[in-house]
């Protein structure tokens, strides 16, 4: 408590010393610990203790003071180069708040009941405007926009974005919580349960072999000329991989061919063998199985789905062919159609999937048609709803700011004079003078950018998924502003690099990581040890970022033909196909999804020369019945007025926002109550000082003023 009292002093240096002392407590009092486990234990224990003492509220007030500190902003604007020294106070405050949010957010089985109560209370404080008039996440979004506008270039963006990500994760919920909310929402709407748990299906997937490229084929032919055994020109498809690997009847020649293929691809597969450790299916043993133990795949991983629109299109085509006229959206009348069509419609209806979004769109159409009879809509006050309502009027600026920072942090971006400086909280006051210091700073800068990409991609994906569950038009509003801010070409530019090098990058020094560096003696760093990096074969952080960006791209383009054409126009197919070299099942799944939606536009020649990729799509991506994704004759592949499609969507979004979130009228434009009875029946709360001078006011304003009854009656 004495430390908290020290936060209220006027002296800035004394406040900073007290804040650093609290940061030492939040970091686990590592000076009194002997191992890393003790540091993490006491960090978590002290975070709950600090919260119960009101530390977070005190630091929130200090953070608001630092944000509004015009002197610090003006001094940072005058400096030619901003360094770590310009954001010392902000970094200490954000570090304490981040540690508290992260430690309290994570649940453990051994947590006492009072900790669980603290966790729920803390979640409510962050989700709903308790201490301030806005959620805490909105304050962090405001810091991001203020930084990008150039008014506060000293803000430590890495810490702000990390805290924003963890706050969204804590208040809205992670993917498992989102899945549980989705199941509960479907039950409330009376919809059938989900056919499978997508999280579990992806976890059980096995990565496919990357497709063969023309360069690799040339290298293989050169090796053949040097004396290697000749091999057949055909390459087996992914859909047959599991069969061929377990087939005991393969001849010796095929076995030799597989060994030679392994030699060719050893450079890629040798580095990424450990990348499949997150999958449940174990790798196949190298020895061949006996004949009686041959097993085959049980089926495709996903249950097929059918939309109501697909059934309507199928019946429309069938009626035009067999009867000569259509019945609109009628899917029940099958008179005049042959028996096979009846069976087809029955099968389609068995796999019909009605999403929560379909129900929300239908309800919105009914509210637009009958606003008076249906009355006001009951909106549930969820953390996602509160956040969207708070972000609504500045949401385009928030999205543009996040994408600006993402562009500056991308490894493919070039340094420009007009771009924002995201390295303000990593560059020291004095630049390095030795080679070792320069190498260490270079590693720090690359790691800094990777963390920024990770936090922005995770935050955007969380927002999109939660908003889509809360209401489809909230999701579409955010998606449309991301598309207008060139999010699609930005993500494609991010992947237009050597993605293997990015995922296997080693921008970290393990001996300097927390909490290792706090309880172990630091060895002498050399240039060789910095170049070697850690022992990991790949970087989980960069893999996580790549998967998030692919999922965001998939969210933006799904069922949007105009945005799918953007993928085709920007020539995304070769960029995405190169990403298939990463042998990680989840990343490959979303790459294949993005390739699937544009295959109908890429032409027959592309499909013919990429049969292995087409087989992988068939094997891993969910099938939609009546979806001719592999051909160009689908109804969705016909010419569309893409601008009209986006304009219609925008009109629906604006109608939704104006109906639910329209601003209250200013007082001068509010309707006036002219009814005498209702005005006299209103109860007005008069101030206390008016009660004391009531008789004087009555004498001066009422009794001393003559009433001209004739004029009053004449006016009536």
Whether residues 322 and 369 share a domain: the answer is: no
Give φ, ψ of 624 to 5 degrees. Answer: -110, 115
pLDDT at 275 (0 to 100): 36
Place of tokens 């902000």: 90
Whether residues 452 and 364 share a domain: the answer is: yes
Concatenate the DSSP letters of all residues of 500-556 into one string: HHHHT-----GGGSTTHHHHSPPPPP-HHHHHH--S-SS-HHHHHHHHHHHHHHHHH
Nearest CA to 655 among 390, 394, 463, 367?
367
Give φ, ψ of 522 to 5 degrees. Answer: -75, 125
Whether residues 43 and 101 share a domain: the answer is: yes
Residue 562 lies in a domain: yes
Nearest CA to 458 among 165, 171, 170, 203?
165
Whether residues 197 and 337 share a domain: the answer is: no
For residue 505, the enclosing domain spans 173-205+300-305+353-670
Asked if residue 412 lies in contact with residue 494, where contact means CB atoms within 8 angstroms, the answer is yes
Residue 143 lies in a domain: no
pLDDT at 195 (0 to 100): 87
Enumerate helices (H) and strands (E) in the chain, giving the number of each.
39, 0
Mean pLDDT score across all residues of the chain: 83
Whether residues 632 and 513 share a domain: the answer is: yes
588 contact partners, CB below 8 Å, separation of at least 6: 207, 208, 580, 582, 616, 620
Asked if residue 209 lies in contact with residue 241, where contact means CB atoms within 8 angstroms, the answer is yes
625 exposure class (CB count in 10 Å sphere: 0-12, 13-18, 19+): middle
Strand partners, 624: 305
DSSP-assigned letter for residue 427: S
Whether residues 483 and 567 share a domain: the answer is: yes
DSSP-assigned letter for residue 233: S
Q: How far apart are CA 636 and CA 408, in angstroms?
A: 36
Whether residues 441 and 569 share a domain: the answer is: yes
Q: How far apart are CA 371 and CA 367, in angstroms?
A: 5
436-490 pLDDT per residue, tens: 888 889 999 999 999 999 999 999 999 999 999 999 999 999 999 999 999 999 9
If phi > 0 it is left, if psi is from -120 to 50 it is alpha, else beta; for residue 191 that is beta
pLDDT at 668 over 60: no
577-631 pLDDT per residue, tens: 999 999 999 999 999 999 999 998 898 899 999 999 999 999 999 988 888 888 8
Q: How far apart are CA 33 and CA 379, in angstroms?
A: 50
Asked if residue 353 lies in contact with residue 306, where contact means CB atoms within 8 angstroms, the answer is yes
Residue 97 lies in a domain: yes
% residues pLDDT > 70 (the chain): 82
Whether residues 329 and 399 share a domain: the answer is: no
pLDDT at 617 (0 to 100): 94
Last residue of a domain, one of 284, 319, 351: 351
Q: How far apart are CA 250 and CA 711, in angstroms?
A: 112
DSSP-assigned letter for residue 701: I
Whether residues 359 and 336 share a domain: the answer is: no
Last residue of a domain, one of 127, 162, 184: 127
Residue 295 lies in a domain: no
Cis peptide before 515 (omega within 30 of 0): yes
**Number of folded domains in the chain?**
3
Last residue of a domain, one of 127, 145, 161: 127
If phi > 0 it is left, if psi is from -120 to 50 it is alpha, else beta; for residue 306 that is beta
489-504 pLDDT per residue, tens: 999 999 999 999 999 9
309-319 pLDDT per residue, tens: 999 999 999 99
202-257 pLDDT per residue, tens: 988 988 876 655 555 555 555 555 554 444 443 333 433 433 333 333 333 333 33
Distance of CA 320 to the CA centre of its chain: 44
386-427 pLDDT per residue, tens: 999 999 999 999 999 999 999 999 987 776 655 788 988 898
Mean pLDDT of all residues in 71-76: 80
What's the token pair of residue 137? 């996440």
What's the token pair of residue 634? 């689908």
Whether residues 376 and 483 share a domain: the answer is: yes
Q: How far apart are the first and last CA of the chain?
A: 69
For the chain, give the longest Cα–Cα distance.
122
Whether residues 421 and 325 share a domain: the answer is: no
Residue 707 lies in a domain: no
265-293 pLDDT per residue, tens: 333 333 333 333 343 333 444 444 444 44
pLDDT at 544 (0 to 100): 97
What's the token pair of residue 9? 């002093």
Residue 600 lies in a domain: yes
Residue 675 lies in a domain: no
314-367 pLDDT per residue, tens: 999 999 999 888 888 888 989 889 999 999 999 999 999 999 999 999 999 999
Residue 266 lies in a domain: no
Whether residues 570 and 532 share a domain: the answer is: yes
Nearest CA to 542 among 577, 511, 504?
504
What's the token pair of residue 144? 């991001």
């Amino acid at each position: 408590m004495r430390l908290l009292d020290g936060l209220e002093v006027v002296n800035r240096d004394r406040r900073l010393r007290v804040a650093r002392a609290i940061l030492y407590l939040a970091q686990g009092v590592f000076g009194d610990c002997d191992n890393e486990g003790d540091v993490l234990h006491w960090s978590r224990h002290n975070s709950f203790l600090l919260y119960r003492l009101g530390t977070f509220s005190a630091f929130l007030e200090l953070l608001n003071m630092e944000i509004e500190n015009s002197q610090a902003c003006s001094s940072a604007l005058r400096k030619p180069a901003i360094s770590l020294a310009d954001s010392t106070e902000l970094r200490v405050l954000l570090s304490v708040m981040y540690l508290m949010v992260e430690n309290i957010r994570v649940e453990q089985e051994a947590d006492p009941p009072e900790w669980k109560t603290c966790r729920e209370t803390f979640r409510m404080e962050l989700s709903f405007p308790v201490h301030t008039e806005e959620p805490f996440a909105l304050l962090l979004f405001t810091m991001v926009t203020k930084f990008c506008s150039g008014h506060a270039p000293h803000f430590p963006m890495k810490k702000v974005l990390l805290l924003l990500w963890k706050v969204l994760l804590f208040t809205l919920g992670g993917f498992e919580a989102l899945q549980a909310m989705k199941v509960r929402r479907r039950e409330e709407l009376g919809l059938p349960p989900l056919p499978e748990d997508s999280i579990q299906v992806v976890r059980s997937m096995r990565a496919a072999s990357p497709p063969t490229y023309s360069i690799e084929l040339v290298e293989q032919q050169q090796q053949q000329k040097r004396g290697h055994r000749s091999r057949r020109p055909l390459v087996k498809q992914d859909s047959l991989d599991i069969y061929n690997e377990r087939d005991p009847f393969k001849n010796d020649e095929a076995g030799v061919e597989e060994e030679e293929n392994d030699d060719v691809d050893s450079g890629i597969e040798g580095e990424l063998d450990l990348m499949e450790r997150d999958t449940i299916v174990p790798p196949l043993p190298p020895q061949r199985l006996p004949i009686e133990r041959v097993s085959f795949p049980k089926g495709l991983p996903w249950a097929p789905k059918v939309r109501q629109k697909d059934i309507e299109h199928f019946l429309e085509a069938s009626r035009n062919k067999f009867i000569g006229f259509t019945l609109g959206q009628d899917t029940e009348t099958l008179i005049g159609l042959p028996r096979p069509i009846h069976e087809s419609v029955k099968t389609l209806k068995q796999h019909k999937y009605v999403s929560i979004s379909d129900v929300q769109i239908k309800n919105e159409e009914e509210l637009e048609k009958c606003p008076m009879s249906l009355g006001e809509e009951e909106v549930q006050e969820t953390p996602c709803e509160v956040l969207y309502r708070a972000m609504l009027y500045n949401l385009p600026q928030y999205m543009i700011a996040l994408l600006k920072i993402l562009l500056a942090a991308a490894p493919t971006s070039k340094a420009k004079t007009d771009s924002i400086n995201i390295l303000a909280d990593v560059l020291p006051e004095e630049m390095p003078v030795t080679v070792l210091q320069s190498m260490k700073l270079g590693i720090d800068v690359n790691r800094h950018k990777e963390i920024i990409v990770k936090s922005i991609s995770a935050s955007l994906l969380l927002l999109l998924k939660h908003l889509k569950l809360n209401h489809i038009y909230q999701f579409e509003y955010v998606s449309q502003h991301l598309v207008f801010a060139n999010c699609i070409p930005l993500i494609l530019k991010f992947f237009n690099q050597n993605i293997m090098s990015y995922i296997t990058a080693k921008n970290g020094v393990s001996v300097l990581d927390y909490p290792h560096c706090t309880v172990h003696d630091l060895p002498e760093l050399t240039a060789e040890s910095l170049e070697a990096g850690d022992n990991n074969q790949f970087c989980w952080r960069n893999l996580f970022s790549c998967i998030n960006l692919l999922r965001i791209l998939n969210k933006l383009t799904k069922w949007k033909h105009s945005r799918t054409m953007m993928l085709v126009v920007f020539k995304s197919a070769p960029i995405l196909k190169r990403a298939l070299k990463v042998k990680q099942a989840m990343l490959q799944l979303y790459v294949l999804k993005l390739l699937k939606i544009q295959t109908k536009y890429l032409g027959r020649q592309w499909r013919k020369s990429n049969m292995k990729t087409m087989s992988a799509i068939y094997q891993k991506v969910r099938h939609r019945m009546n979806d001719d994704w592999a051909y160009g004759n689908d109804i969705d592949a016909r010419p569309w007025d893409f601008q009209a499609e986006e304009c219609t969507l925008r009109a629906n979004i604006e109608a939704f926002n104006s109906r639910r979130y329209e601003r209250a009228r200013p007082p001068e434009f509010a309707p006036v109550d002219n009814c005498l009875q209702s005005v006299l029946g209103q109860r007005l709360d008069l101030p206390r000082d008016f009660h004391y001078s009531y008789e004087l006011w009555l004498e001066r304003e009422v009794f001393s003023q003559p009433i001209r009854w004739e004029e009053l009656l004449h006016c009536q």
